[in-house]
Amino acid sequence: MLSKTIQDAINEQIKHEINSAYLYLSMSAYSESQNLSGCATWLRLQWQEELSHALKLFTYLGERGGRVTLQAIDRPPADYKSPLDIFQQVFAHEQKVTSLIHQLYAMAIKENDYATQIELQWFINEQVEEERNVAEIVAQLKMIGESGPSLLMLDRQLGARGAGK
């Protein structure tokens, strides 16, 4: 059985994961409006991934005898300055999520909740991957600039994410 403290913290993290999904869906819509369909596809896949993270926590709470209580999510911005701006915001957001996961893990340690520590290890590993992938996109956008053939090539590359799956 989960402590109320851990249950509440996991419910809060579910909210953050759904907020992340909503943010990425908004970024996808903006990218689509800028004719950057590859960026839009990459961000929509990220949206789906964030929802799957929320569902993983949702399921975990149930498996441990906890209760999910959904919370209100924030309205994401609708406009962005550029593809670089979008991915810099994604990177900053992923760093924030990493911090939240680390705080939750520290709480599980304090509570001697070994099962939650094990569950959260998956999220810690996932955040390492998330940050690495987005940092690479930011670096590439800084190298190629905000327009021209190189941006179109990167857009196509981002749109290939998930192809063939």
Q: Please write the tens of the pLDDT for every residue from 118-142.
A: 999 999 999 999 999 999 999 999 9
Residue type, 43: L
CA distance 128 to 106: 17
Q: Which residue has the tokens 């909740």?
A: 113
90 found inside a domain: yes
Q: How many domains does the chain have?
A: 1
125 found inside a domain: yes
pLDDT value at residue 163: 63
Residue 20: CB atoms within 10 A of its CB come to 25
Domain hosting 71: range is: 4-159
Confidence of residue 162 (pLDDT cuts 50, 70, 90): low
CATH of residue 30's domain is: 1.20.1260.10
Q: Write the pLDDT tens digit of every residue in 96-114.
A: 999 999 999 999 999 999 9
Confidence of residue 1 (pLDDT cuts 50, 70, 90): confident
Q: Write the pLDDT tens digit of every residue in 4-54.
A: 999 999 999 999 999 999 999 999 999 999 999 999 999 999 999 999 999
Q: Write the pLDDT tens digit of every residue in 63-102.
A: 999 999 999 999 999 999 999 999 999 999 999 999 999 9
pLDDT value at residue 165: 45
165 found inside a domain: no
101 found inside a domain: yes
164 found inside a domain: no
72 found inside a domain: yes
pLDDT value at residue 98: 98
pLDDT value at residue 36: 96
Q: Is 117 exposed, middle or buried (0-12, 13-18, 19+ CB in 10 A)?
A: middle
